Amino acid sequence: MINWRAPHTISREELVLTSEKLLARPSMPIVETEHIFRIEALELEWDIGVMSYAPLDKSRIPTGIDGRKIGFFLLHGGAADFRFMAPLARLLAGKYGYHVESMTYPGRLNLNDPSRDWPGDTIAPDGSVRLPIWLAGENISQDQVEIVEDQTLRARYGTRTNARARPGTRFYDRMAAWPVAFELAMKTACARQFPEDQYSIYVHGHSTGGPFAHMLTQRVGNIVGVVGMENSPFGYIYQRMLDIEWPVPFNDLYIRTWRDIARYSGAEIYHQEGAQALMRLPWVIEDVFAKWERGKTQPNFKAEYPIHYASVPALTAAARTAATRLKLGKAATDELVARYIGYTRERPGPKPVPPILLSIAKFSRDHRPEIYESVVLPSFADIRPAPRVELSRFDAGTHAYERAEDGLPFGLVPAMVELWKEAIDAGYFTPRPL
């Protein structure tokens, strides 16, 4: 019988105290190692980047109550690559000795620069756009792209710039195939670093990474739980949260701009200051542009919306496009379509969805307490068998949970680490008897 319950609310004072306590704790030496490995998915090759964090002395990796070593598999959000997760990974490894693997989505790592910084802007003065690098040495040229200005969700996103892959190009092939590459990349990364007989894995996906982390829980045998903060749930639940049907074809790559800073900043400032924030709109706009300038070295493009929003039409079209290229028959095509759609939700089978520990920030745009109470928690409760789910509300912070604020130099990250450790040590993630 597991009696541990997550705190309903963690006050700002508690968050500051927890942060100070963890940051004052001695740090152990850690080793950070980048791994680039190649996989094959749907007869295409893909280069995948993972950053590993572990104690210099591997004997210091702690074991859980199940007797296996504790490992964390991290996924960043929709704008970033594995560098975004470095503050969290370093605290997990340096303060408590956990073994951490942080993976970049397929195509997001700048394989042309050892710093992994992306050059210039996402949209150049000549109108060309930043495009993924799915394979070292492969160049997706601008003539494979049609630029589309989309205003279908203008109230949320403003005018969106999409790079639409032209049929018959390598870009088009990859936009149809990346979902399988993403699945195989995650499974391969876990198998390489977290042997099933040695490790229990706790998965965390920030924002866009959340649906992929949830999907992975039933596809890797030694994943024992989800540790969340501002993580989207399964795609179909996220679609319910926002009540948005994603209207975009699978072959549209979203090119991010300053508007993506604005759509978060506006909501966060409203929650912090109310309508009075509009009285300093020029200042707000200046901050938006400054944040965008600082973030340009991140990838800032996104193909993953069809899974994030559980867009069955887009995923069906992508699967059928890949099947046509591979010359699959009807049965194999239908199987591939089912596989793609299956990425958006839990699936039946011998491994149920494991326990989930959720957290949300006070000033988040989309992860609001009332939405969790009315949509997210009931949706998890409807899963059969229903996973154990707990939710903590942090009385500070924004969707960018690593962002520093007064008294919280690492944002919410130290308190996240402490909450996760407490849950693991208490046996919260122990499977329920079937």
CATH value at residue 214 = 3.40.50.1820
Q: C-alpha 317: how far from its chain's center?
A: 24
Model pTM greater than 0.85?
yes
Angle at the Cα of 298 from the Cα atoms of 147 and 118, rounded to 5 degrees: 75
194's tokens: 């977290």
Residue 432 within any structural domain of the chain: no
Q: How far apart are CA 384 and CA 5, in angstroms?
A: 21
State the DSSP code for 372: I
Which pLDDT does position 2 carry in this prediction? 77
Tokens describing residue 218: 């039933």
Decide: residue 274, CB within 10 A, 0-12 exposed, 13-18 middle, 19+ buried: exposed
Low-confidence ranges of the chain (pLDDT < 50): none
What is residue 404's DSSP assignment? -
> pLDDT at position 203, please?
99
**Residue 414 lies in domain:** 9-425
Please state, as a whole number, how many other Cβ atoms lie within 10 Å of the Cβ of residue 370.
7
Greatest distance between any 2 Cα atoms in the chain: 63
Q: Does some domain include residue 434?
A: no
Tokens representing 325 are 């290229």
CB atoms within 10 A of CB 111: 16
- CA angle 377/379/380 to nearest 5° reads 65
Return the SS3 of 34: strand
Residue pair 390/259 in contact by the 8 Å Cβ criterion: no
Q: Looking at the domain assignment, is residue 25 inside a domain?
A: yes
Query: What is the SS3 assignment for 44?
Result: strand
Tell me what pLDDT residue 33 has: 99
Q: Where are the beta strands (DSSP E) in 56-120?
A: 69-75, 99-103
Residue 281 contacts by C-beta under 8 Å, 6 or more apart in sequence?
none
Specify if 219 maps to a domain: yes
Q: Helices (H), strands (E): how many in the chain?
A: 14, 13
Q: In this predicted structure, what is the pLDDT of residue 93?
A: 99
Amino acid found at 151:
Q
In this structure, the chain runs to a length of 434
Number of compact structural domains in the chain: 1
Q: Is 430 part of any domain?
A: no
CB atoms within 10 A of CB 167: 11
What pLDDT, on the 0 to 100 scale, is given for residue 39?
A: 99
Partners of residue 47 on adjacent β-strands: 38
For residue 166 the two structure tokens come to: 């032209």
In a domain, 19, yes or no: yes
Does 178 map to a domain?
yes
Tens digit of each residue's pLDDT (9 = 90 or more) over 138-188: 999 999 999 999 999 999 999 999 999 999 999 999 999 999 999 999 999
The pLDDT of residue 341: 99
Of 184, 203, 168, 207, which Cα lies nearest the Cα of 304? 207
99 and 53 Cβ atoms separated by less than 8 Å: yes
| Angle at alpha carbon of residue 216, lines to 191 and 67, rounded to 5° | 55
3-state secondary structure (DSSP) of residue 135: coil
Report how far Cα 293 is from the mean position of its chain's Cα atoms: 22
Cα separation of 345 and 338, whole Å? 11
Indicate whether 165 belongs to any domain.
Answer: yes
Residue 146: half-sphere exposure toward Cβ, Cα within 13 Å: 12
Neighbours of 397 (CB within 10 A): 27
109 vs 41: CA distance, rounded Å: 18
Cα 327-328-332 angle, rounded to 5 deg: 170
Tell me which H or E stretch contains 307. Answer: helix 305-308
The reported pLDDT for the residue numbered 389 is 98
pLDDT score, position 434: 58
> First vs last Cα of the chain: how many Å apart?
14
Please answer whether residues 413 and 88 qualify as being in contact, where contact means their C-beta atoms are separated by less than 8 angstroms. yes
